[in-house]
């Protein structure tokens, strides 16, 4: 029996991949103008960015537990095996909530076969792992082997990104008000990375061009020279810089397989318009498809 792969809307995978590999996606809740939306269901990322460009400040909340409960109950009743690859537990309570919901469902269906894994990341860092896990599931790989891959690979996906405006980091509580004002005046662009699921400052540079250059430098230091691996690039409504980053990597490092997509609503709401992120493994636990 095929293992069902579940994730949440913080994974930022392209819709075509989600459809092709039958990946189930739990939507986060988007709070905007006193209304609640389901990420990717009742509001698209493009629509969210339009609201943000118009001056609105969306907020997010974790996946509705009832949505999880309904899904888990359905799978349990059918005797299906599932793996839920969740957004970083350090950035959201969704992972912990899913554990509680699964426990409730197991009280009704003791044999419910589900594995819940903290991806320790978000955006295409999680997305790349979900994609490979879904590909394995589609090819009939045993659940235990898929779980082993996810747990091994997730801690080894690098997240290197920058933001265009420090105001969003201030609103999210990750930067002081004075720091945001001074940084914007001086055109300071923080280069950030994720360590054990948490966002941390890597370096501050002046200007977007230098920030992109720094991202590439970090990739040169940490990436594996496996040319047919997939490199993830995500952007917060800044396709021009995302494609520029892709071109630099192609020319300088010789990679030619990319997954480029918008940074979804969950992270986009917090980092603001103009963020660009790069995602790649520093160790590989899978064999890329030809």
In a domain, 66, yes or no: yes
Res 172: pLDDT = 53
Beta strands at 29-32 and 59-61: parallel, antiparallel or unpaired: antiparallel
In a domain, 229, yes or no: yes
| Residue scoring higher pLDDT (31 or 194) | 31
For the segment 74-83, the average pLDDT, to the nearest whole number, is 98
By CB atoms closer than 10 A (0-12, 13-18, 19+), residue 216 is middle
Is residue 171 predicted with pLDDT exceeding 90?
Answer: no
Res 290: pLDDT = 41
For the segment 158-182, the average pLDDT, to the nearest whole number, is 62
Specify the 3-state DSSP secondary structure of 39.
strand
Mark whether 142 and 167 lie in a shared domain: no
In a domain, 289, yes or no: no
Domain finish residue from 155, 181, 204: 155
pLDDT band of 190, cuts 50, 70, 90: confident
Mark whether 81 and 224 lie in a shared domain: no
Assign residue 231 the CATH number of its domain.
Answer: 3.30.1180.10
In a domain, 133, yes or no: yes
Res 100: pLDDT = 98
Mark whether 16 and 135 lie in a shared domain: yes
Mark whether 31 and 76 lie in a shared domain: yes
Place of tokens 């800044």: 238
| Residue scoring higher pLDDT (119 or 178) | 119
pTM of model > 0.85: yes
* Domain hosting residue 222, numbered range: 156-281
Task: Give the count of domains, the chain.
Answer: 2
Mark whether 130 and 79 lie in a shared domain: yes
Mean pLDDT, the chain, whole residue set: 90
In a domain, 286, yes or no: no
In a domain, 216, yes or no: yes
In a domain, 172, yes or no: yes
Q: Would you mind telling me the total number of residues written for the chain in this entry?
A: 290
Mark whether 143 and 223 lie in a shared domain: no
Mark whether 130 and 224 lie in a shared domain: no
Is residue 186 predicted with pLDDT exceeding 90?
Answer: no
Res 195: pLDDT = 86
% of residues, the chain, pLDDT over 90:
74
- pLDDT for 236-287, tens place per residue? 999 999 999 999 999 999 999 999 999 999 999 888 888 899 999 998 876 5
% of residues, the chain, pLDDT over 70:
90
Mark whether 149 and 161 lie in a shared domain: no
For the segment 79-103, the average pLDDT, to the nearest whole number, is 96
Specify the 3-state DSSP secondary structure of 38.
strand
Domain finish residue from 127, 155, 183: 155
Mark whether 40 and 136 lie in a shared domain: yes
Specify the 3-state DSSP secondary structure of 235.
strand
Cα(190)–Cα(187) distance, integer angstroms: 10
Assign residue 18 the CATH number of its domain.
Answer: 3.40.50.10170
Mark whether 115 and 244 lie in a shared domain: no
Mark whether 136 and 163 lie in a shared domain: no
Domain finish residue from 122, 155, 188: 155
Res 227: pLDDT = 83
């Amino acid at each position: 029996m095929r293992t069902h792969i579940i994730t949440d809307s913080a994974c930022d995978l392209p819709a075509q991949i989600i459809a092709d590999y039958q990946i189930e996606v739990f939507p986060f809740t988007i709070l905007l103008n006193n209304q609640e939306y389901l990420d990717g269901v009742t509001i698209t990322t493009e629509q969210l960015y339009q609201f943000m460009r118009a001056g609105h400040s969306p907020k997010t909340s974790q996946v509705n537990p009832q949505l999880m409960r309904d899904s888990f109950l359905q799978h349990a009743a059918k005797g299906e095996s599932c793996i839920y690859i969740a957004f970083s537990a350090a950035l959201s309570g969704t992972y912990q909530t899913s554990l509680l919901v699964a426990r409730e469902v197991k009280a009704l269906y003791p044999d419910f076969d589900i594995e819940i894994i903290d991806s320790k990341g978000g955006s295409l860092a999680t997305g790349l792992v979900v994609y490979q896990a879904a590909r394995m599931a589609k090819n009939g790989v045993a659940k235990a082997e898929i779980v082993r891959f996810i747990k091994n690979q997730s801690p080894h996906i690098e997240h290197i990104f920058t933001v265009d405006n420090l105001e969003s980091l201030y609103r999210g509580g990750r930067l002081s008000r004075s720091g945001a004002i001074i940084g914007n005046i001086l055109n300071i662009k923080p280069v950030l990375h994720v360590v054990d699921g948490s966002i941390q400052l890597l370096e501050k540079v002046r200007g977007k061009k230098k920030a992109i250059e720094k991202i590439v430098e970090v990739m040169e230091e940490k990436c594996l020279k496996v040319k047919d691996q997939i490199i993830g690039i995500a952007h917060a409504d800044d396709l021009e810089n995302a494609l520029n980053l892709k071109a630099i990597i192609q020319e300088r490092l010789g990679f030619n397989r990319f997954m480029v997509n918008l940074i979804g609503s969950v992270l986009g709401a917090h980092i603001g318009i103009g963020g660009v992120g790069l995602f790649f493994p520093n160790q590989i636990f899978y064999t890329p498809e030809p």
